[in-house]
Amino acid sequence: MTTFIQQALNGLTIGMIYALIALGYSMVYGVLKMVNFAHGDLCVLGAMFSLTLLRATGITKGRLNIIEVPLTGTRLLLVLGMVFLGGMLCSTITSLIIERLIYRPLRRASILTVLVSALGVSIALSNTMMLVFGREMKSFPSLLKKQYFTVLGATYSNLQVFIAILTILLLIGLFYLVNKTTLGRCIRAVALDKDMAGLLGIDVNRVIVAVFALGASLGAVAGISHAMYYGQTYYLTGYQLMILGWASAVIGGIGDMRGCVIAGLLIGLLEAVGGGYLPILTGGLLGADYRRIFVFLVLIVTLVIKPAGILGKPEVIVKA
């Protein structure tokens, strides 16, 4: 039982990160009806850039990016602010450049052309990161001084609490923005019908820019949290994040924000609980490496049973 609670807590933490990434996919899909392959790479870009900031300001040192003086009080807050805001800014600016230069001219092109261009952006972005930041796996400091709590016999670190609180705050903010503000109403209108929204006087381009900015900011937070949680970042991590985030978005029902959050948490849980139990149940025959397989099986089963996702509405996803 303790193992289960432990894995469930770990899974929920990582699930929050997936939920943030899935929201980025889902929102862009909502307004443009395209899958932004590059989103996973934008998340990693945020982490890479904030790591560069940490090194440039001399907070972390050496090849392993160790923090020599533990951060406390105001200094910790300032550093966290710099890391997250810097990463968000970098991802957002890159995302907007991509939107303006590549996705916007292709808005009326055929869907297959758009998909190919998005794939190209993802490949180009991850390999540019490789050239700029290096091809090795980089260790990423957790910034917080490690502290552990015991909940129902399971240990929970302050980093996990931090990620959970941060995600919940962001989600509350996002849901408020989308459901209660004028911008949110415009986003929903554009998602429903771009042309009609344009006719009613909504500046569709500005709404799309806002969605890309929101998605990239959430993605950067997710990327940095992911890097802090695992203590490392790597230029190819974006590929993994892309698959998992996209899978969460699809399982939850792409375009539906609540569905994305639920599916993200579900996938995190599945990965952690499945990964935790596999070696025990199979007597070490199947290791935790196989945990991702559950995710993909759930994805395929979801697509077969309810292709629109858990909360999605059956639209044009299936042509049968």
Partner 1 sequence: MSNHKNDAATSRSPGFSLNQVQRYWRALTKKAGVKRALFIGAAILLLALPRIITSNYWLRVIDLAGLYVMMALGYNLMFGYTGLFNLGFAAFFAIGAYCYAMLASPLHNVHLPFLIVLPLAVGLTSLISYLLGIPSISLVGDYLGLVTLSFAEIFRILVNNLKFTNASYGIVNIDAIRLPFFTFKSVSDYYYLILPLCVVMYLIIKRLEDSRIGRAWMAIRNDEEAARTSGLDTRRLKLLACAIGVAPVGMAGVIFAGMQTFVSPESFTSRETWLIIAMAIVGGLGNADGAVLGALLLTLLPEPLRGTPIESARTLIYGLLLIFFSLFRPQGLLPRRYWKGEAEEEASG
* 193 is a contact residue toward partner 1 (CB under 8 A): no
Which residue's CB is nearer to partner 1, number 89 or number 317?
317
Residue selected from 78, 152, 169, 293 as contacting partner 1 according to rule CB under 8 A: 293
Q: Which stretch binds partner 1 (CB under 8 A): 5-13, 101-109, 223-231, 258-266?
A: 101-109
233-to-60, 64, 237 alpha-carbon distances in Å: 15, 12, 7
Any residues with CB less than 8 A from the CB of 13 and at least 6 apart, and which? 160, 163, 164, 229, 268
Q: Is 60 exposed, middle or buried (0-12, 13-18, 19+ CB in 10 A)?
A: buried
Say which amino acid occupies 76.
Answer: L
Any residues with CB less than 8 A from the CB of 147 and at least 6 apart, and which? 157, 158
* 123 is a contact residue toward partner 1 (CB under 8 A): yes
* 69 is a contact residue toward partner 1 (CB under 8 A): no
Residue selected from 6, 117, 217, 248 as contacting partner 1 according to rule CB under 8 A: 117
* 300 is a contact residue toward partner 1 (CB under 8 A): yes
* 106 is a contact residue toward partner 1 (CB under 8 A): yes
CA dist., res. 82 & res. 60, Å (int): 13
CB of 264 to partner 1, least distance (A): 15
Q: Which stretch binds partner 1 (CB under 8 A): 146-154, 187-195, 226-234, 246-254?
A: 246-254
- Pairing relation of β-strands 66-67 and 60-61? antiparallel
* 310 is a contact residue toward partner 1 (CB under 8 A): no
* 176 is a contact residue toward partner 1 (CB under 8 A): no
Select from 181, 250, 257 the least CA-distant residue to 20: 257
* 287 is a contact residue toward partner 1 (CB under 8 A): yes
CB of 47 to partner 1, least distance (A): 20
Residue selected from 116, 154, 183, 204 as contacting partner 1 according to rule CB under 8 A: 116
Task: Give the position of tokens 């994305």.
Answer: 260
Cα-Cα-Cα-Cα dihedral of 91, 97, 99, 105, to 10°?
-170
CB of 314 to partner 1, least distance (A): 12
* Contact predicate 265/12, CB 8 Å: yes
* 137 is a contact residue toward partner 1 (CB under 8 A): no
Any residues with CB less than 8 A from the CB of 137 and at least 6 apart, and which? 232, 233, 234
Q: Which stretch binds partner 1 (CB under 8 A): 51-59, 111-119, 163-171, 188-196?
A: 111-119
Residue selected from 1, 69, 280, 318 as contacting partner 1 according to rule CB under 8 A: 318
Side-chain-side CA neighbours of residue 59 (13 Å): 21
Which residue's CB is nearer to partner 1, number 163 or number 299?
299
Which residues contact partner 1 (rule: CB under 8 A)?
Answer: 34-35, 102, 105-106, 108-117, 119-125, 127-128, 130-131, 135, 239, 243, 246-247, 250, 286-287, 289-290, 292-293, 295-296, 299-300, 303-304, 307, 316-320
